[in-house]
Amino acid sequence: MSIPRLTQIWETLAPVSVAPVATATTDNYADIGLIDAEGKTRVVYTIYNAHATRVIDWKVLSSVDNVTFIELEAEATLAGVTAASWVASATETSYRYFKIQMKSNGAGLSANVTVRGYAKM
């Protein structure tokens, strides 16, 4: 097998992950944790709200072209000092791009949130 073909196989099999620094929420939805999951069959996100009392809102969006996104996971709330996770279904992995959107649950009530995501075969 040629080196270019081996490289292509490795790039397809290699997992993709995102681990942005903890982010403070704002009053408007902000994108975080974009994953390019081309060729992957499993996409997972975890979200952790580090604030003791403040609640955040979050949702998952996806796209085939990284321009037009649709909502895959409807808005959900996450209480303080708790975590949530999201796993793409078999049909949802047909999308290539995934991202989390998050915002404060109340005006001016910022919270630090950590997002981790990965995609793999």
DSSP summary character for residue 94: G
> How many domains does one find in the chain?
1
- CA–CA separation, 46 and 7 (whole Å): 30
Amino acid type, 73: E
The per-residue b/e assignment along 107-116, b for 16 or more CB within 10 angstroms, e otherwise, is: eeebbebbbb
Q: Which CATH number goes with the domain that contains 88?
A: 2.60.120.380
pLDDT of residue 121: 84
How does pLDDT run across 93-106, given as a tens digit for each residue? Answer: 999 999 999 999 99
What pLDDT band is residue 22 in, cutting at 50, 70 and 90?
very high
How does pLDDT run across 37-71, given as a tens digit for each residue? Answer: 998 999 999 999 999 999 999 999 999 999 999 99
End-to-end CA distance of the chain: 21
- CA–CA separation, 120 and 16 (whole Å): 6
78-87 average pLDDT score: 97
Range of the domain at 13: 3-120
